[in-house]
Amino acid sequence: MKKLLFIVMFLSFVVGAHAQHDAIEDEIELFYDNGELATFMGAGCYINWAVMFPTEMLQERGVFFLNKIAMFEDSQNTHDLKLKIRLGGDTAPGETVCSVVFTPSGETGFQFQEMESPILIDGTQNLWIVFEQLGFEGPNDMYPASASNDVSGDPNGRWTSCDNNNWIDLAEAGMPGYTWMIRAYGINLVGVEESLAYEALSLYPNPTTGQFIVEGANVERVEVYNLVGQKVHEAEGHVVNIDAANWNKGIYLVNIIEQNGAVVTKKLVVR
C-alpha cells in the first residue's frame, strides 16, 4: 500500500506539479461487447469466463490505474462469484494481483465493482479479468454468464474454462458468435495546460526497442523516470539521443524541460 501511494504521489509530481501542468483523471473503458445482451451461457453447469486485454491495447491507451470492473447480469444470477485481476499469460491468465467477491445485485444491467485500491497497469503484461463461480452444487445453483453478439471478432473477448486452469476460445467450445459482457475501467493521468511549444517537441521512435530522440528548439534538459520514481537518465541540449537498449521493458515518463522553465511530460514505451 505504501508503494502504491508513493507511485500515485510521484506521478502527480512529474505530470502535474509544474507551473504549466495540472493533473486530471481521464477514465478509460476497455471492452469487447456491444452493450446488448444476446444470450446467457453456463446455466446449469460450472464455467469460468474471462476477457484479456493485450499489452498492445494497454500501451496504446497509456499508463493507467485499474479502478473498477463491470459485468452485465440479471435476476438469473443467484450467487457470489470470485472476481480476479490477473497479469501475464497469452492463452491462460497469469499471476493474480487482486481477488474479491462479486455479489449479484438482482437487477438487470451492468453491475460495477470498485477496486479497494487502484491497481497499477504498466502495459508490459496482458491484463485478464476473470470471473470464477463459487459454491456450484448443480443445475439449480447457477450463475449464467452474459454474452453479447461478437461484433469485435477478437478472441480475447471470449475466454472460457471448466476448471479455471485450461482456457479455450468460446468459439472453439462450440459457441461461436458471442463475446462476454465484461468491462474494465482505468484512470489515465494527463496534463491539461500544455506548454505553447508542445507541438514543436518531438519524441521518436515511440515505442522504441533501443535508441530514441527528444528534440525541440526550446528544449534545455530531459529527465526520464521509471514508474517507481527513479530517475534513469538525464541529458541537456536541444536534441538529445538516448539509448534505452538495456532498460527494462515498460512505460517511462519523459520530462522535457524548456528554457522558460515549462515542463512537458510524455510517455515512452520501451519494448
**Digit-coded pLDDT (tens) for 108-145:** 999 999 988 778 787 788 999 999 887 666 655 566 78
The pLDDT value given to residue 44: 61
Sheet containing 211-215, strands listed edge to edge, beginning at the edge strand earlier in sequence: 202-204, 211-215, 239-243
DSSP three-state, residue 221: strand
- pTM of full prediction above 0.85: no
The CB-based long-range contact list for 220-225 (8 Å cut-off, 24+ gap) reads 220/257, 220/258, 220/259, 221/257, 222/254, 222/255, 222/256, 222/257, 223/254, 223/255, 223/257, 224/252, 224/253, 224/254, 224/255, 224/268, 225/10, 225/14, 225/252, 225/253, 225/255
CB count, 10 Å around CB of 236? Answer: 10
| Dihedral (CA of 37, 39, 44, 47) sign | negative
- pLDDT tens for each residue of 70-96: 999 887 777 788 999 999 999 999 999
**pLDDT for residue 163 is more than 50:** yes
Domains, the chain: 23-188 (2.60.120), 195-270 (2.60.40.1930)
Mean pLDDT of the chain: 82
- Using CA atoms, how far apart are residues 202 and 209, in angstroms rounded to an integer? 17
In the numeric block, the cell 493474480 is attached to 96
- Using CA atoms, how far apart are residues 193 and 93, in angstroms rounded to an integer? 39
The pLDDT value given to residue 3: 44
**pLDDT for residue 259 is more than 80:** yes
Helix (H) or strand (E) holding 5: helix 2-16
- Using CA atoms, how far apart are residues 14 and 31, in angstroms rounded to an integer? 30
Helix (H) or strand (E) holding 4: helix 2-16
Residue 201 CA to its chain's centroid (Å) = 27
What secondary structure letter does DSSP report for 144?
P
